[in-house]
Chains A and B, each alone.
Chain A
């Protein structure tokens, strides 16, 4: 018995010993932020990460039914209606939104998450040796990351004005970054990032949805136009810089206007033809809890519970006011049935045709999805050639003091597709108004109009046909724009955690 007792005491002493290794954590389901890139695939994954929050431009709103970040810019214009109370439409219809309203928070979150991914890519890729990733590949990946970061910041400054400037992945918990004026963000991030990207050797067109030279130049054209515009008043010289970029896209990009508007509803045309830069989706890639792979706007724009589609949820989240429709020329092809809008459609259940009470948006009507699969295969467009044409027209007109022939031509190309007569010689102001109006009609419900209003501080009055001043414009809903509409409030959720962001924007 004695030996066993000694053995057991020995065993006990053994278990009293400590073993540091036993308590180590060796994670394999994530990487630590300081990881070393081991191959090109890993580098590519970092670059791809920059695109992951592009879907934030059309992202579902928590706690809402039929709510999507995209709704916000359309609700704000006063030219939209909604079938659903749970989209929070009324708060935007009567301009009573506040720091806790829908979308204001989600936009902020999505954009900064996108910036976080870009910062990680930029700082990780910067350190990779050319033996692992060739410099040329690396530089183009960096160009993609710079472009995406600039794009995310571009949305941020237009929406919220002064915002925290974050350019690295934070290493500690000192996260209460104060706001940097919008102009400084343009000067220290948006413009430098895009100018670096512009110098890359990326192709002029990319049909897989990655950043191309054309995408970079389109964004840059938009940025300069906005920088020169009312919000920043950076200087008239930037109209020329803008026109230079849009011209480059038109000249080198190899894009052409689609002959038919419905070509935009054809999944085969994704990332090509007229489409310069899009948020990519795919019907063949299933959505998961963490990754939306299918464009939500198709179901979102079908009239609420109209019973015309395979979709269980037909939302009718956003549709145009009658006044906006009536502001088009009656002959404009874009308001004809099943061009940009539709007013009736066969029922999915009965032989009848369902006639809607109003015009509904047809821009993301993927008929295969609607009638069969309930899975839209369309992308959401950020920049397309028509936009670039009109940016060129506007910028060159400002830069040169009058419209040049190219500018007039581009406007007429867009009018021709709408089966409208070409414009003749117009004054600088009249031409500008024509361009602005064309932007309203051509780019409606593509989240452009609100930014145009902020950039120009003018609003087209659908009832009077006048160009109202932004401040003081009364919407068809009876609400009046004030200075409070110039910037969205920084969401309360964010100011609660980072009080350095206060005071909030005027009016909030």
Chain B
């Protein structure tokens, strides 16, 4: 906590505010325009001047009517000259006050200069002056509100010629000729290019960029100005997502948005990250947010090419998510992909080349150490089991018994560093090309992408090809139609399957160093070559001979039409689809002991076919009631259907490893044939939203969705999810409108309900399921009671309250958003355990019991610390804290042990505690020789691990850690200097534990595998003050338990990303006939500051796949795929 405040303090102090506000207006004698009047009234003339300059006129229309129409022409004259000319022979005079020119009657009825007036208000007789050069352009730059903007860079496109605006937003620039283009740019604003033509004075309004408050953001079934929202919506632009090389969208989101926690739990190529919005709100239902890609709901976001994304919005509170009702409880992530733009075709290429390296090391025993520990362990056997056992190894580690591994002097021949052999630098590249363009009536965008990602772990890779085409067509003034189609093909080669088994990451630690990868004769070496060892094959061998090829092909898209029914009313009908096919091929060779040797080789093909369609139809009514009140209303209906079909075939006992999954018939044993065609669900929903805006000050939103789902009991199919939200834009009030300090201030609050339906198929129904039993030497069909069912199953409902404050200070140089929320999920879809005595195969049933609360605070702080023409420096700090608490469980509130049930119970669900509580024993250390008597009461000895026990002698179990952090934050900063930019993101995750469960097999199992180097710190008579027990042969190993020694501090500070980029100046780019060239070098995961002893504290080895929902395996580390440090070179070229 302290660190974060410290950082905030530093950059608050470092903000240098530009002062020097000039109270004077622009000199009217120095603003030159051309003007032509053909029998036009004076009002028209003033109007024209007003349009061409930054001046405004104040006058009484009646007074001006007396002046007869004018016929005059001015070319390149000063405003002063023109006004003098216009008012000649009238009774009018003018006076300049700032940029306002007041026209009024001459008080004394006569014409005479007044010496008392200020310099800007003097009147001189008309004096013809020489024509000034037309190629001096002056102008003013303002924001959308009309406030002048200082420090905006104004450059003549294609030249180095440029200037910046002054404190009044004014600039003056000499240009070589008419017809040039001026470019206006600044951090925080969208760059704008204007053709100047013959104008000499212009006013430019710049739109605020990404962080801006007036951005249009995508919300459910529509868009809204960010400032008009009553809900908590966060937005990220596509460029920001892809400013570092990321293979998928979820990884790109890490550390971007307060309240959106992303965990990259596996670094295997192609693996997605886990995304949680505002904590864990459910126990057995889905925890994934709902992804909506261009209106298509429920898309597997991770298959998308992140480069396709134009913007991404996260809807966090009930006011914004309730429109998605039953599927909105975990937040909604709206993805908008790139579409066509008016104008010439633009081609953009983005490319990345990078190399991954292993940043941290997990030290294991080397050959000499292994031999020493092995012999010592056997020698210690007599102590731990004086009666029973084996005190000499089955095979002595020497030349006599293992001539292939030891030389004549009994020295090991090999000292293999398996980490080094398995985790090697890997090169990856990513290419994306996009064409956007369009005429007035039709817009198109087409893109192609290719990703070739190679993982740190040898032989693991991921390849993805993607293509997308969008079309938007305006047929006439009332009909629009369009759509898009996106096709993605990917292949992933996974080599690290089977958590808990002797897989690659595990064997990196447990393969003994005394064997080589291969013997000189070319045959694979492994632990199996030494009797008495648990004979896992070496990791390089596994990575070559055991793999899964995951092939995915998917098509995603929609077709829509919009009919403009009346001036205010539109009908949109959108048909979206999402089809995906998956074929996962697996093979594990005959020579892999413990994995597939017993089976004689094992191949399987696992294939999925999924389809989803939705029909969304809605009316939007935009009504401006009067100048003060605006109303928008939305009414729609939705139909959705999802279906999955699945088949799994497996064969074993292959005649040759050549065949693999390509010829299952080459395996003599057909071990598996299963299919499933039923997981399907349908939804039928109706939704409405009303927003009401008074004076842009008071904003109200009411949303409701009536959702019907096939997944619930007959009587509970439909449910209603309402929400209300209100916002008060205080900065529009008189008392703040003119504040120098507060440029924007909005207070908002919302309350509402959302739901969760993401449970399996048929969970309300009792199930009798088919199966098999061996009788008479072959399989016979069985029918057994499988699942008890719950006819009363109904919706899980979340109620969420949110209060937010949006604040812009010092002309939005400091922007802050603070949100507090309280989300309580009730009627949890809990897989409540039932007694085994019920006789069901599944000893649980979905019930609506229990409740969970998440409360949290989110802060997003953006500051522009320095902003000059050449140099800008901005920082962003994101902070989020979430407190999770189980309020109620099933009847009686008994503890639930939710798994993953590897190495016993590791997690507990207990009322009053948070989801993700680790549960285990407390290790105090090891028994010293003085404590022999105490140890004996637990049948233990000095050198054994010492735990806390209950009075009755049973081990004391308690909550010993938490898998979810107290707070997380990201500190980012960007510095721009001329064409150079440098940015970094540092991520903080604090107050969290990670369980190094791998210590079980690598610290407590000497003599059957290699161990962590920490066993060198094990108990010895001379070294009794240690947490690591005395080494002994495995037979006498003290039974390992999940305990406080494994559950470590998992807090970390990570150098998430550092980027140095250079954008080639336009003038050079133009010479190359290009529109943009940018090169960038970046590094991800540059540093990791943590006390955690494993590879990375951000881990979940039990649950690396998308869509599997257990919240309970987070931060359980049983040999992970280490997270690489990635060195990247990126190139962007625009044609």
Enumerate chain A interface residues (CB-CB to B < 8 A). 1, 4-5, 8-9, 11-12, 15-16, 18-19, 22-25, 27-33, 35, 41-42, 44-46, 48-49, 51-52, 55, 62-63, 81, 83-86, 88, 90-91, 94, 96, 98, 108-109, 112-113, 115-117, 119-120, 163-164, 166, 169-171, 173, 175-177, 207-210, 270-271, 280-282, 284-288, 290-291, 293, 304-307, 310-313, 347, 349, 354, 357, 373-375, 493-494, 496-499
User: B27-40 toward A: CB 8 Å interface, digit per residue (1/0)?
Assistant: 00000000000000
Q: A63-B903, A170-B838, A494-B837 are in contact. Are A357 and B682 (CB under 8 A)?
A: no
> In the complex, what residues of B have CB within 8 A of residue A35's CB?
768
Within the complex, what minimum Cβ distance (angstroms) separates A303 from chain B? 9
Q: B565 at interface (Cβ–Cβ under 8 A)?
A: yes
Q: B833 at interface (Cβ–Cβ under 8 A)?
A: yes
Q: Are A62 and B901 in contact (CB under 8 A)?
A: yes
Q: Are B671 and A23 in contact (CB under 8 A)?
A: no
Q: Are B684 and A120 in contact (CB under 8 A)?
A: no
Q: A120-B785, A284-B777 are in contact. Are A166 and B837 (CB under 8 A)?
A: yes
Q: Which residue of A lies closest to B766 (CB)?
A: A33
Most A Cβ at <10 Å: residue of B683, B784, B1039: B784
> In the complex, what residues of A have CB within 8 A of residue B1008's CB?
305
Q: B761 at interface (Cβ–Cβ under 8 A)?
A: yes
Apart from A166-B837, A305-B532: 16 A-B pairs, beta carbons within 8 A: A1-B476, A11-B573, A11-B617, A18-B708, A19-B684, A27-B765, A30-B768, A42-B783, A45-B781, A48-B773, A63-B903, A112-B837, A116-B785, A120-B783, A271-B776, A286-B669
Q: Are B839 and A169 in contact (CB under 8 A)?
A: yes
Most B Cβ at <10 Å: residue of A12, A81, A90, A354: A12
Q: Are A4 and B563 in contact (CB under 8 A)?
A: yes
B390 CB contact (under 8 Å) in A109, A171, A287, A357: A357
Q: Which residue of A lies closest to B1004 (CB)?
A: A85
Q: Are A304 and B1035 in contact (CB under 8 A)?
A: yes
> In the complex, what residues of B have CB within 8 A of residue A63's CB?
901-904
Interface residues of B in 892-927 (CB under 8 A from A): 892, 894-895, 897, 901-904
Q: Which residue of B lies closest to A98 (CB)?
A: B954
Q: A49-B783, A52-B771 are in contact. Are A497 and B834 (CB under 8 A)?
A: yes
Q: B520 at interface (Cβ–Cβ under 8 A)?
A: no
Q: Are B598 and A311 in contact (CB under 8 A)?
A: yes
Interface residues of B in 970-1014 (CB under 8 A from A): 1008
Interface residues of B in 837-896 (CB under 8 A from A): 837-841, 843, 845, 847, 892, 894-895
Q: B939 at interface (Cβ–Cβ under 8 A)?
A: yes
Q: A22-B684, A23-B710, A116-B784 are in contact. Are A312 and B1039 (CB under 8 A)?
A: no
Q: Are B531 and A306 in contact (CB under 8 A)?
A: yes
Interface size class of B (residues with CB under 8 A): 35 or more
> In the complex, what residues of A have CB within 8 A of residue B535's CB?
305, 312
**How distant is the Cα of A492 from the Cα of B786 in the complex, in angstroms?**
22
Q: Are A83 and B1035 in contact (CB under 8 A)?
A: yes
Q: A307-B531, A313-B594 are in contact. Are A175 and B838 (CB under 8 A)?
A: yes
User: B776-801 toward A: CB 8 Å interface, digit per residue (1/0)?
Assistant: 11111111111111100000000000
Q: Which residue of A lies closest to B619 (CB)?
A: A12
**How distant is the Cα of A49 from the Cα of B843 in the complex, in angstroms?**
17
**How distant is the Cα of A498 from the Cα of B834 in the complex, in angstroms?**
8
> In the complex, what residues of B have CB within 8 A of residue A5's CB?
478, 563, 565
Q: Which residue of B lies closest to A87 (CB)?
A: B1039
> In the complex, what residues of A have CB within 8 A of residue B678's CB?
27-29
> In the complex, what residues of A have CB within 8 A of residue B847's CB?
173
Which 6 A-B residue pairs are closest in the complex by CB-CB distance?
Answer: A116-B839, A208-B776, A286-B671, A307-B531, A374-B598, A49-B782
> In the complex, what residues of A have CB within 8 A of residue B197's CB?
none
**How distant is the Cα of A375 from the Cα of B1034 in the complex, in angstroms?**
26
Within the complex, what minimum Cβ distance (angstroms) separates B1117 from chain A? 17
**How distant is the Cα of A171 from the Cα of B785 in the complex, in angstroms?**
11
Q: B571 at interface (Cβ–Cβ under 8 A)?
A: yes
Interface residues of B in 615-632 (CB under 8 A from A): 615, 617, 619
Within the complex, what minimum Cβ distance (angstroms) separates B1050 from chain A? 23
Q: B556 at interface (Cβ–Cβ under 8 A)?
A: no
> In the complex, what residues of A have CB within 8 A of residue B670's CB?
286
Q: Which residue of A lies closest to B769 (CB)?
A: A30
Q: Which residue of B lies closest to A500 (CB)?
A: B835
Q: Which residue of A lies closest to B788 (CB)?
A: A170
**How distant is the Cα of A52 from the Cα of B1038 in the complex, in angstroms?**
35
> In the complex, what residues of A have CB within 8 A of residue B1038's CB?
85
Most B Cβ at <10 Å: residue of A46, A113, A280: A113
Enumerate chain B interface residues (CB-CB to A < 8 A). 388-390, 394, 476, 478-479, 528-529, 531-535, 563, 565, 571, 573, 593-595, 597-600, 615, 617, 619, 637, 639, 650, 652, 669-672, 674, 676-678, 682-684, 686, 708-711, 717, 761-762, 764-790, 833-841, 843, 845, 847, 892, 894-895, 897, 901-904, 939, 953-954, 1008, 1034-1040
Q: Are A108 and B836 in contact (CB under 8 A)?
A: yes
Q: Are B531 and A349 in contact (CB under 8 A)?
A: yes
Within the complex, what minimum Cβ distance (angstroms) separates A275 from chain B? 13
Q: Are A113 and B597 in contact (CB under 8 A)?
A: no
Q: Which residue of B lies closest to A357 (CB)?
A: B390
Q: Are B834 and A27 in contact (CB under 8 A)?
A: no
Most B Cβ at <10 Å: residue of A312, A493, A496: A312
Q: A31-B768, A96-B939 are in contact. Are A112 and B531 (CB under 8 A)?
A: no
**How distant is the Cα of A105 from the Cα of B160 in the complex, in angstroms?**
80
Q: Are A312 and B785 in contact (CB under 8 A)?
A: no
Q: Are B708 and A84 in contact (CB under 8 A)?
A: no
Q: Are A375 and B571 in contact (CB under 8 A)?
A: no
Q: Are A312 and B776 in contact (CB under 8 A)?
A: no
**How distant is the Cα of A86 from the Cα of B1038 in the complex, in angstroms?**
9
Q: Which residue of A lies closest to B527 (CB)?
A: A305
**How distant is the Cα of A16 from the Cα of B618 in the complex, in angstroms?**
10
> In the complex, what residues of B have CB within 8 A of residue A42's CB?
783
Q: Which residue of B lies closest to A170 (CB)?
A: B838
**How distant is the Cα of A5 from the Cα of B676 in the complex, in angstroms?**
44
Within the complex, what minimum Cβ distance (angstroms) separates B677 from chain A? 7
> In the complex, what residues of B have CB within 8 A of residue A176's CB?
835
Q: A173-B845, A286-B669 are in contact. Are A312 and B840 (CB under 8 A)?
A: no
B1036 CB contact (under 8 Å) in A28, A85, A304, A349: A85
**How distant is the Cα of A91 from the Cα of B615 in the complex, in angstroms?**
61
B782 CB contact (under 8 Å) in A83, A117, A499: A117
Q: Are B571 and A9 in contact (CB under 8 A)?
A: yes
**How distant is the Cα of A373 from the Cα of B653 in the complex, in angstroms?**
9
Q: Which residue of A lies closest to B896 (CB)?
A: A496
> In the complex, what residues of A have CB within 8 A of residue B781's CB?
41, 44-45, 48
Most A Cβ at <10 Å: residue of B637, B776, B784, B836: B836
> In the complex, what residues of B have CB within 8 A of residue A291's CB?
771-774, 779
> In the complex, what residues of B have CB within 8 A of residue A9's CB?
565, 571
Q: Are A46 and B783 in contact (CB under 8 A)?
A: yes
Within the complex, what minimum Cβ distance (angstroms) separates B779 from chain A? 5
Q: Which residue of A lies closest to B957 (CB)?
A: A100
**How distant is the Cα of A1 from the Cα of B102 in the complex, in angstroms?**
51
Within the complex, what minimum Cβ distance (angstroms) separates B755 from chain A? 15
> In the complex, what residues of A have CB within 8 A of residue B835's CB?
164, 175-177, 494, 497-498
Q: Are A52 and B671 in contact (CB under 8 A)?
A: no
Q: Which residue of A lies closest to B684 (CB)?
A: A22
**How distant is the Cα of A270 from the Cα of B839 in the complex, in angstroms?**
29
> In the complex, what residues of A have CB within 8 A of residue B953's CB?
96
> In the complex, what residues of B have CB within 8 A of residue A52's CB?
771, 773, 782, 784
Q: Are A347 and B571 in contact (CB under 8 A)?
A: no
Q: Are B775 and A12 in contact (CB under 8 A)?
A: no
20 A-B residue pairings within 8 Å (CB atoms): A11-B573, A18-B684, A23-B684, A28-B678, A31-B768, A48-B775, A48-B782, A48-B783, A63-B904, A166-B837, A166-B839, A208-B776, A282-B778, A284-B669, A286-B650, A312-B528, A312-B535, A313-B594, A357-B389, A375-B598
Q: Are A112 and B836 in contact (CB under 8 A)?
A: yes
> In the complex, what residues of B have CB within 8 A of residue A51's CB?
773, 775, 782
Q: Are B573 and A8 in contact (CB under 8 A)?
A: yes
